[in-house]
Every structure is written in structure tokens, then in C-alpha cells.
Structure 1
């Protein structure tokens, strides 16, 4: 396997030294992957980011894991970050089929094997990455344990809005309008458009500034709202995942008690039927529990490290 060097914006990541590569998925889509390794490594974390996210956003988490003895891999999913954008409007969140994200997972897994990244391997999956990660472990991703952070096991909507979302996103497929933005979203990136006060991501002003600073310096990383096509694919994937049995794998899911982006009820439902799973509620937490206030963040990363050590 030939890995070609890819750019990595060290100046905004605020993490350990990283190396990035271009990978090619089976369907020819080019994606970007990065790897951080500290000293005395005792395992590797596969960090699956959410929709709109990019590798550099997890520089600080790489520092947290490195301080606890773990290397970290992360990825720009197709359609975001520096990976190939899939339609003419590069700000529109889009994927042809939700299952295509598994091609990205396969490419990263092949690269990890090729580079012999330290084992055991663990999964930490946030938001949309949680849906991708859940399917990946059900299909045999070789990790010893998994941690979910505000996973997208469902999308937060009112009971009245949900059937409308299904109908509108389905109609967009039939009328070739799937590239258009879902109602209520635009090409603007959330953290640059919304003030810190009242934001749905984090209670930590420093972390919010960190996210804003990254996208102001490198707007090429930015992504706007989801397309109608992405919404339809995501709704279908969440529906299909709900029907699947939880895998036989140790799991902790962290959920902020002020979650407003993904469906908290779907998370509770999943964890109630996960035999070796535990749900941890982060009091005062928003969607980005990995990027919460420092005291919450320290406890969370400490808990992850202890959990991984117990599951190796």
C-alpha cells in the first residue's frame, strides 16, 4: 500500500506532532488521515469525527490521549475537511450513500495495518462518526472497546417535523434537488455564524474560540449545512441501525444532558439494550462532550484511559 503525504495544519491543531496521508477508498474517492503518537504508547485510538469536522479539530484530544499513553488516528470523511468534496457546492454536506462512509473506514483500517500502529486498538466516535462507528463495529471493526460521544443514533427533531423531513428529503431524490440545503441550514459554518452564547456545541468559551480560530485561518476546512440528500441517507441509516442488535463489545457512551443535535432518546434506547454498555450523562454538557469545560474534559479522558486499560 502506497501512502502519499498530505497537508496538516499544525499551527491550529494545538496537539502533538502529527503525520497526515492521502488514502484512496475503493471507489476512488481521496480521503485524508492523520496519526499522532506520543511516548510509551499502549494502544491506538481510532477517532471518528462528526459531520462538518476535520482532523485538526482533534489536535487537543490527541494531546489528551498522548498524555495517557495512547496514539490517535483521525480522518476527514468524504465530503468534508480536505477529503474530496462530492458535489459542485463544496459547502453542502453530501454523501451519495451513507454506506460509502464504510469505504473510508476500510481505507483507514488498511492503512493502520500497513503502518502497524500500536495495538490494542480502540474506537472513539463522535456524532455522525457514532453512526458510522456503530455499523463498523457491528461489521467487525477490530477494536477492543468503543466510546461514543453524543452519537448520531438518531437526529433530534420534533414529532411534527420528523415526517416532514422524511417526505421532503425523499421528494428531493425524485426531483433531483438533493443537493439543496435542508430547511433551516445554509452554506454558513455553524461556529462562524452562531455566537458562543446559546450555542449547541460546548459550554467552554475557550473551546468555542479554538473551533472558530481554526476555520478563520483555514476556511478550506469549513462545511455548511446538510443537503437534503444527506438528510435522507442519514435518516435511513439511523432507522436501519435501530433494528440491529448491539455488538458484543465493551462500550461507554457519553451524553450531555443539554444535548440538542442528536436524538437523546435513541441513545438511551440503544444503551439499554447494549449488554456490556454503560451510559454516562455529563451534567451541563452540550453536544461536544470531548470539548467541554476543562474539569469535565479531564474526567472524561481519564475515564476513557481507565476503560481502555481494563479492556485491552
Structure 2
């Protein structure tokens, strides 16, 4: 199921493709969030295949089964989100556009949102529609964001870009007890992700580096600059989690309102990982997806 492809700057990435029985209605390209990996999206892929779509996804550089960038493989690091965009471009050219049929739709979670916005502005012909789930557009506390942004910038300039963020380390956040996790209220799906990492520890990631945080802030700023959302032409549905503690759902709503052809849905009570949430939340998500993406065949 998995295969390897190489980016223009020589980074080896892991990809996977699923196909439905019969002729696909198109392809949904799934773009993951920070510290995620292909196996975590098996249920999402099955949901999409059941709707008649082919599915293609990959692990971004520095995480999952793709090439790690630092000597310590647990450090979540990237110098710039432009590198993630290059990953996405290589994935589209070498995997999705060559191995799966169009039309193409993008489903992106969290960290992937600024990547997809930059990609769709450069290659507007690739995607018919975008669905952004709990997008990384802003952080919940403006004061904390201001402090963190300044700290990351200052430490990065001092040469600490490859160091863990303050109070960060090798501890794998995805292995926290369910009661202390900030991403889902579904114990079964959370346990499934924990089991995947326990089975294959090489998929895990620790805290982000100072450089990663600095890159994330730059990407959020670039995505929300005056004229950027307004110039966006790809129809986009933004779905935010009402109980999100990782990103700011209000920032998502403001961003969606600035896109011509953009829409926003807020799922109250949902935590950050909407696609890994309880069944009632996921049913609302899939109802919105089915209404927005042409050709989606609602599951019986």
C-alpha cells in the first residue's frame, strides 16, 4: 500500500493510495496535521472509499514514515512551511496526478491549511474544492500567541532553531493518558492511535522545535495577509471545532468569511481532531462534506 517518492530537494517521503471497487468518482487528497501519519487515517480513507472516491495521502517530511530532518528523529522540525508546500507539490505530481483519476479534492487538517492555501494559489487548476478541518490560522489566546511568536523569533535568531521549544522534549504527546489529551473525546479512536505508535514507535514525534514554531507563525501570517484570502478562487469549506484548544476556531471563521466562495461550519463540542472524534461529531462532518463535494455518495 505504501510507496516512497522523493522531493526536488532530495527528501524521501512515504505515500499511500486507496481505490474503490469500480470507477472512482474522483480522488480526495488527504493532507495531515503535525505529528500525524498514514496509518492514523485508515478509517478516514475507508469512509472516502465507501463514498466512491480514490484516496491519496502522504507523510510530510520530518514525521510519520518519511525522512526525518534532524539527528534526533523525535524532534518535529522544519525551517519553513514552504518545505511542506514542496512536499505537497511533489506528492501531487508524482503520486496523485499520475496514479489516481480526477477530479481532485483536498482534505487538509490543521497544519496543512496554510500549506494548501499556498499550494492552491500556485496551482489553482489542481483542486476542484478544498475542505480545511480545524485549520492552523490562529492560536486560541492572542496574548500567548504574541509572546510565543516573539520568543520563537528571538531564540531562532540566536541559533536555537533546532532546539526543542521551552519545556518541550522527547516525550511523545500522542501517548498521554486519554483523560489528559486535548484532541478528541472519543476514547476508542484515541486508543487506536496510541496502539499504532506502540506497535511502530518510529512513527512517533515529540515536541516541535523553536524553528518549527517560528515557521508556523510565519505561515499563519502569510495566509491571513490582506489580499491573500480575497484572491483565493478555489471553493473552500472550513470546518472548525467549537472546543478546540490547539487552534482558534474564531480565526478560522474570519478567514473563511474573506474567501470568495468560502463557507464555514463550527461543530460545537468537538475537539481539535474532528476526524477522530465521537460518531455524532463525525456524522456532522461527513454530512457537510457530502453536501459540499460533488459526486460524494452518502453511505447507507
TM-score, normalized by length of structure 2? Answer: 0.92
Which of 130, 136, 149 is the matching residue for 1:152? 136
> Mind listing any 5+ residue stretches in structure 1 that lack a counterpart?
1-18
Shift of 1:209: 0.6
Shift of 1:100: 0.9
Hey, what does 1:218 align to over in structure 2?
Answer: 200
Q: What is the alpha-carbon distance in structure 2 between the residues aligned to residue 207 and residue 65 of structure 1?
A: 17
Which of 81, 84, 89 is the matching residue for 1:98? 81
Shift of 1:110: 0.9
Hey, what does 2:29 align to over in structure 1?
Answer: 46
Aligned length: 291
Pick closer, same or farther for the CA change 1:113–1:253 going to 2, 3 Å. Answer: closer
Shift of 1:43: 0.9
Hey, what does 1:119 align to over in structure 2?
Answer: 102
Q: Superposed, which structure 2 residues align to 1:112-261 within 5 Å? A: 112=95, 115-141=98-124, 142-159=126-143, 161-192=144-175, 194-243=176-225, 244-246=228-230, 247-261=232-246
Q: Is the 8 A contact 2:33 2:111 kept in 1?
A: yes
Q: What is the alpha-carbon distance in structure 1 between the residues aligned to residue 32 and residue 68 of structure 2?
A: 16
Pick closer, same or farther for the CA change 1:283–1:166 going to 2, 3 Å. Answer: closer
Hey, what does 1:23 align to over in structure 2?
Answer: 5
Shift of 1:76: 0.6
Shift of 1:275: 2.1
Shift of 1:166: 2.3
Pick closer, same or farther for the CA change 1:237–1:79 going to 2, 3 Å. Answer: same
Alpha carbon RMSD of aligned pairs, Å? 1.7
1:131-172 Cα offsets, whole Å, 9 max, x none, are 21121112225110010110101233441x333322221222
Q: What is the alpha-carbon distance in structure 2 between the residues aligned to residue 71 and residue 114 of structure 1?
A: 12
1:106-143 Cα offsets, whole Å, 9 max, x none, are 11111236634111100000000112112111222511
Shift of 1:175: 2.2
Q: What is the alpha-carbon distance in structure 2 between the residues aligned to residue 50 and residue 214 of structure 1?
A: 16
Q: What is the alpha-carbon distance in structure 2 between the residues aligned to residue 268 and residue 283 of structure 1?
A: 13
1:309 match: secondary structure:
coil
Pick closer, same or farther for the CA change 1:70–1:305 going to 2, 3 Å. Answer: farther
1:163-208 Cα offsets, whole Å, 9 max, x none, are 332222122222221111112432212121x221242111111111
Shift of 1:245: 2.7
TM-score, normalized by length of structure 1? Answer: 0.89
Hey, what does 1:280 align to over in structure 2?
Answer: 265
Pick closer, same or farther for the CA change 1:156–1:184 going to 2, 3 Å. Answer: farther
Q: Is the 8 A contact 2:114 2:136 kept in 1?
A: yes
Hey, what does 1:266 align to over in structure 2?
Answer: 251
Q: What is the alpha-carbon distance in structure 1 between the residues aligned to residue 214 and residue 134 of structure 2?
A: 20
Q: Is the 8 A contact 2:152 2:214 kept in 1?
A: yes
Q: What is the alpha-carbon distance in structure 2 between the residues aligned to residue 257 and residue 50 of structure 1?
A: 18
